[in-house]
Amino acid sequence: MGFIIWIVLALLIAGFLVYLSSLRTRRLLPALELPDGEKLPRTPLQKHASLALLAVSALTVVAAGLVMYHGPQTWWDSDPVRLTVTGVLIAALVAYLVFTLTIRALESRDDGAFDERDGAILARSHAGVGGAMMVVVAAWMVALTEAYRETHLVPSYYLYLLFWSCVMTNVIASIAGILLAYRRG
């Protein structure tokens, strides 16, 4: 169970890296002059990113909860549980695909719903993804090495969990990068 703490710590560090990359993105964006007391309205990109982050995060938490509830060994050995978890994670990827297609459609429209600021934010939204994924992989490596130091034999189902951890970290960090870049410093 100690390796779960490493994974949680890795996710926190990954979130911090995404936040740091969003700070850099905000510095690169064109300055906006707003009258005192007036707030910038939420853009369609922000609204869609918020919904996508909520859906993907919820589905990822459900999948992780199922694995933690049943345990990795039982999850791996039980086809219904494994297929349910995989289906939930694929549903999260479908939610991300719908988000991506919606944003591409917004980008191609010529009604002002997507401007150069949105384009700059979207182009830089992936800046923290690599660092976030490296932290998650490092945490898995340390946790599994420490947990199986005696035997030097890591069960293969942990590699499957590592794969899905990286995929979902990529997706969540990409969407979070968009939302964090809109925050005013």
The CA-based angle 148-153-159, given to 5 degrees, is: 90
pLDDT digits (tens, 9 = 90+) for 56-86: 999 999 998 999 899 888 888 999 999 999 9
Domain ranges of the chain: 2-28+44-182
Whether residue 182 contacts residue 23, with contact meaning beta carbons closer than 8 Å, is answered with no
- One-letter identity of residue 75: W
- One-letter identity of residue 173: A
pLDDT digits (tens, 9 = 90+) for 7-63: 666 767 777 777 777 666 666 656 656 556 656 667 888 899 999 999 999 999 999
pTM of the model: 0.77
